[in-house]
Amino acid sequence: MKKNDWLRGRYLIRCLMRRDGYDHAEYLKKHNCFYSIGENCFFQPWNLPADSKFIKLGNNVVIASGVSFICHDVIHHVLNHICDSESVDMAEIEYSTFYDVIDIRDNVFVGANSTILAGVTIGPNVIVAAGAVVTEDVPEGKIVGGVPAKVIGEFEKLQQKRRRYSTVMQGIHKDEKLKKLWEGH
């Protein structure tokens, strides 16, 4: 069994015992799972990416549950078995597994069940909406969502909206929040 397989097993047990995403991130950092992982990170998925050394997480990165990181593909299996008389002589080339890195910069939230593909850089101050499939780089300060992910908003506008909400709701018990929210609808 490979070292990474042991780490995956131990990580799963850790997730069952301790459900805190901050604890998960510190555990992964301690065991050098990713290429690098910054400070104040939250990692909720129970599955470790297959090629975690191809992933870099900046500071203050939150990864929600069910997020998939795809750092390689297996298209070469198809390409290596194409019999096309007009293509290059197949004996001359054997296609290799494609690998690339995923770079997630500071202050990023990746929503539940999103997929981040190989070769993607997610800039600082970005939100990836739940269920998004990120196929291209995401510029700084954007909110992206959809399949494939496209810009759907601005990080700063959401931050301002949440600041107003937090000012109104701060110190209010959950039951009062519930009543207040339903009265507003």
Which positions are annotated as active-site residues?
Answer: 77
Place of tokens 């069994």: 1
Q: Which residues contact 91 (CB under 8 A, 6 or more apart)?
A: none
The C-alpha angle 62, 60, 45, rounded to 5 degrees, equals 25
The CA distance from 127 to 146, in Å, is 12
Of the candidates 134, 163, 166, the one whose C-alpha atom is nearest the C-alpha of residue 147 is: 134
The single-letter DSSP state of residue 63 is: E
Of the candidates 164, 87, 45, the one whose C-alpha atom is nearest the C-alpha of residue 34 is: 45
Return the bridge partners of 103, or none.
Answer: 56, 121
